[in-house]
Structure 1
Amino acid sequence: MIRTRLVAVALAALAVSACGGDKTHDARLAKAGPNPSLAALMNVADPQIGDRKAAACKACHTFDAGAPDMAGPNLHGVYGQQMGRNRPSFGYSAALRDAGGKWDAATLDAWLKNPQAVVPHTAMMFGGISDPLNRADVIAYLRSQGR
């Protein structure tokens, strides 16, 4: 019941954060070119906008160094780390622990679009971010944090 409520809160926050407050979205998307690649989107991605767009994630995750885990692990410094291993004390699902790979831009892009497609049976209950520039902004935010 609590997990269902957290998912509902996260989805509502995502709907608000993904569509509002980014007056540069269309111009940045145009600058990335027609049918932009992830690399082109990352070239125009903005970590500060990504921080705002990650508001939905903050229903379940923390992002500050030293902050505790919540329903999901603290995501500070996750970029470049092994999947399912960034926070040793967090109880990751076996599916995520066993997935292998690292949280690079391509993996995060696929994950933020549809976590279940990347790691079937993951405990991550999130519907995804459909807009590719919104995903790139969140990835830029995660990448900007370092370790």
Structure 2
Amino acid sequence: MIRLFRTAALSVLLMLALAGCGGGDERAERLKAAGPHPSLDALMRVADPDEGARVFGHCLACHTIGKGELDRAGPNLHGIMGKAVAGGSDRYGYTVALSSVGGHWDRATMDRWLTSPQRFAPGTKMTFSGLADPLSRADVIAYLEREGQ
């Protein structure tokens, strides 16, 4: 009886694990379409803003993205693309570390920030360690672009 229960439990766990793999084929196809060792431009051509929204869900603990929404522990990110680095929100108190970077949020700058905020602006108070996966970063950038319109 115990052995039967263990076998059934393992089967259920295996089914749940496989169910969580949905989208893996689509992701593999997107990566294949981007080519070997894809550039950011190539990844942006296959980026999925809906997948970016899913990844951005982790950011919602500190950031809002809706037009006119208030800042949280981090600034509201609606329309951030194209704005000055450390200039997305008039109400938010940016660190000197981020303010000293200069420039504007374009795809390449956002990609560097999402890779490692601490390397991008040493001393920033952003505690997020970064997104190692280049396709996930492209997806988030596509989402930020879509939501900023």
Relative to the length of structure 2, the TM-score reads: 0.82
1-structure distance, mates of 2:129, 2:52 = 18
| Structure 1 residues without counterparts, runs of 5 or longer | 1-18
Structure 1 residues 22 and 110, CA, compared in 2 at 3 Å: closer, same or farther? farther
1:104 maps to what in 2? 106
State the structure with more CA Rg.
2
Q: CA RMSD in A?
A: 1.5
1:86 maps to what in 2? 88
1:38 corresponds to 2:40:
yes
2-structure distance, mates of 1:66, 1:125 = 24
2-structure distance, mates of 1:75, 1:20 = 30
Equivalenced residues, count: 129
Secondary structure, in 3 states, of the residue corresponding to 2:28? Answer: helix
2:4 maps to what in 1? none
Preserved CA contact (<8 Å) 1:22 1:49: no
Preserved CA contact (<8 Å) 1:112 1:128: yes
Report how far residue 21 of structure 1 moved.
5.8
Report how far residue 140 of structure 1 moved.
0.3
2:10 maps to what in 1? none
1:3 maps to what in 2? none
Structure 1 residues 63 and 22, CA, compared in 2 at 3 Å: closer, same or farther? farther
Q: Amino acid of the residue matched to residue 107 of structure 2?
A: A
2-structure distance, mates of 1:94, 1:20 = 42
Report how far residue 146 of structure 1 moved.
2.6
1-structure distance, mates of 2:22, 2:47 = 15
2:119 maps to what in 1? 117
Q: Amino acid of the residue matched to residue 30 of structure 2?
A: R
2-structure distance, mates of 1:115, 1:49 = 21
Which consecutive aligned stretches of 4+ in structure 1 deviate over 3 angstroms post-superposition?
19-23
Percent identical among aligned pairs is: 50
1:63-117 deviation per Cα after TM superposition (whole angstroms, max 9, x unaligned): 1001110000010100111000110110111111121011110011111010111
Relative to the length of structure 1, the TM-score reads: 0.83
Structure 1 residues 54 and 113, CA, compared in 2 at 3 Å: closer, same or farther? same
1:104-140 deviation per Cα after TM superposition (whole angstroms, max 9, x unaligned): 1001111101011111111111111111000000000
